[in-house]
Amino acid sequence: MKLIAFLLPQFHVIPENSLWWGDGFTEWTNTRKAVPLYSGHQQPKEPLEQYYYDLTNAAARNWQAEVAKAYGIYGFCYYHYWFKGKLLLEQPLKHIMTSGKPDFPFCLSWANESWTRKWDGGEHEVLIRQEYGDEQDWENHFYELLDAFKDKRYIRIGNKPLFIIYRPGNIPRCEEMLQFWNTLALQNGLDGIYFVRTLGGFDIPGQGGFDANVEFEPHYTFAHGNTERLWNYMIIDGQEHLVFDYDQVWLSILSRSPHRNGGKIFPGAYVNWDNTPRLGKRGQSCIGASPHKFGWYLTKQIQRARTLYQSEFLFINAWNEWAEGAFLEPDQQHRFRYLEEVKKALEQTGSLSSVHSGARQPVFTPDE
């Protein structure tokens, strides 16, 4: 079983974020300012030994890969941002490409949403709008990614680089674009692109051209999990704050039918969810998460992935979404407990030996 964790590159300063959110903004800015909203609400989430890394620093990127490898994570799925020729948060991947380090499998997910002040990918208070071009833009986009697709570390299925699109339903002429890319891929020495549609927290129209679907949790369950009873609210200083039950979402994930129009599905898993660092009371938080529970549920989902979905991949949200409470990276409260549960789940399902042979023991201190 190959566990792939989504990785957010927003841990370095870019001019656009500084302009929109203030000088020196990174994801840590949100993380640090979080406060507990209610009894038992664990905020702020602090990285172990206050390691507020910068992903333009090679040591941080290498440390992430070393730790992930040590606990059995197979690879990272870096978010990729392309706004009709405009790239954002691309520096970490560029460094990975040019340096050849870390030597760790990776793939990309095109997070094709507008950036908004509400962090919701919506159409209000837009900071940068997600726009789409035609053939010329498709070609430019493809060639922007070609080096990555050809990289020996890039994750492939059937010798096709695995490329995830977050919201294909928003892309006009999507199927034509995928065909166009496949043609370009063949012209450039690849066997094609393995396109994966994200099953997330939004409408999912029927579109051709995809080889598989990936469950993006907990959003997929929020939107499509028949969980009308999931949400509750608590009153905090006269304001409603939405909460949901950790176990109920996992119950919904683990009870889901494997059938979806005959399509191939890569099952998903989620670590936790709490986006109050970004939105305060207007956000949502999860009640009842713990490393032990995560390990229990992940074990079951790995078993389902293997037997029910015949999938060699399982995608975890996330490696480092600190401002959404979804992270495997070690923190002050649980240290390496979530990662230890990942390793235990792999061991219990007989999946560990097939992941990274000879991985080093867990490390913390990055090589500066």
Partner 1 sequence: MNKKTKHRIRTTGKAIRLHPRSRKLIAHTVIRALKNINTKQQNLSADLPQPARAVEFKKLRVLLVSAMPGEELWQTEQLIADQFRLLTKEVIAIKAFQSFSTALAQLNPDLLLVVGSDTSFSDNDLEVIRRANLKKAIWLTDSSGTSSSTGRLTALFNYVFTQNMYHIPFYQHSGSNSVLYLPFAADQNLFLPKYVDEAYRCDLLLLGDALPTGIVYLHELSPLLSGCKVYAAGQGWEDHPGIIPVAPGAELQDYYNGAETIIHWGQPPLRAFQIASCGAVQLAEDHPNLYAYMNPGEDIITFHTRQELSEKLRYYRNHPESARAVATRALWRSTYDYSFMQMAAKLLHTVFNS
62 Rama sector, left if φ>0, alpha if ψ -120 to 50, beta otherwise? alpha
- Pick the binder of partner 1 from 19, 35, 186, 235 (CB under 8 A): 235
What whole-number distance in Å separates Cα of residue 148 and Cα of residue 62? 18
Cβ closer to partner 1: 18 or 232? Answer: 232
Strands annotated E in 237-342? 239-245, 265-266, 268-270, 284-287, 313-317, 320-321, 326-327
What whole-number distance in Å separates Cα of residue 46 and Cα of residue 154? 31
- Pick the binder of partner 1 from 111, 214, 243, 346 (CB under 8 A): 243
- Pick the binder of partner 1 from 31, 248, 252, 317 (CB under 8 A): 248
Establish how many alpha carbons lie within 13 A of residue 57's alpha carbon, considering only the half-sphere containing its beta carbon. Answer: 14
Cβ closer to partner 1: 143 or 233? Answer: 233
- Pick the binder of partner 1 from 87, 126, 234, 359 (CB under 8 A): 234
What whole-number distance in Å separates Cα of residue 271 and Cα of residue 5? 10
- Pick the binder of partner 1 from 152, 229, 257, 365 (CB under 8 A): 229
Of residues 65-104, those binding partner 1 (CB under 8 A): none
User: What are the DSSP calls for 188-255, one per residue?
Assistant: TT-S--EEEEEE-SS-----SS-SEEEE-TTHHHHHHS--TT--EEEEETTEEEEEEEHHHHHHHHHT
Closest distance to partner 1 from the beta carbon of 314 (Å): 22
Q: Give me the 278-317 binding string for partner 1, x by CB under 8 A, dash otherwise.
A: ---------xx-x-xx--x---------------------
What whole-number distance in Å separates Cα of residue 116 and Cα of residue 100? 33
Measured from the Cβ of residue 186, the count of other Cβ atoms closer than 10 Å reads 12
Closest distance to partner 1 from the beta carbon of 265 (Å): 25
Question: Cα 187–76–118 angle (5° rounding)?
Answer: 100
Closest distance to partner 1 from the beta carbon of 40 (Å): 7
Closest distance to partner 1 from the beta carbon of 83 (Å): 39
Using CB under 8 A as the binding rule, whether residue 348 contacts partner 1 is answered as: no
Token digits for 139? Answer: 């070609």
Tokens 């549960």 correspond to 341
- Pick the binder of partner 1 from 15, 22, 40, 262 (CB under 8 A): 40
Closest distance to partner 1 from the beta carbon of 293 (Å): 6
Cβ closer to partner 1: 186 or 236? Answer: 236
The closest of 351, 347, 330 to 339, measured between CA atoms, is: 330
Closest distance to partner 1 from the beta carbon of 362 (Å): 22
Name the DSSP letter for residue 132.
Answer: -
Asked whether the beta carbons of 162 and 156 are under 8 A apart, the reply is yes
- Pick the binder of partner 1 from 21, 25, 38, 180 (CB under 8 A): 38
Cβ closer to partner 1: 38 or 309? Answer: 38
Helix (H) or strand (E) holding 194: strand 194-199
Closest distance to partner 1 from the beta carbon of 36 (Å): 11
What whole-number distance in Å separates Cα of residue 170 and Cα of residue 162? 20
Using CB under 8 A as the binding rule, whether residue 39 contacts partner 1 is answered as: yes
Closest distance to partner 1 from the beta carbon of 240 (Å): 9
Using CB under 8 A as the binding rule, whether residue 363 contacts partner 1 is answered as: no
What whole-number distance in Å separates Cα of residue 17 and Cα of residue 46? 22
- Pick the binder of partner 1 from 223, 251, 279, 359 (CB under 8 A): 251
Closest distance to partner 1 from the beta carbon of 292 (Å): 6
**Which residues of this chain interact with partner 1, rule CB under 8 A?**
38-40, 229, 232-236, 243, 245, 247-248, 251, 287-288, 290, 292-293, 296
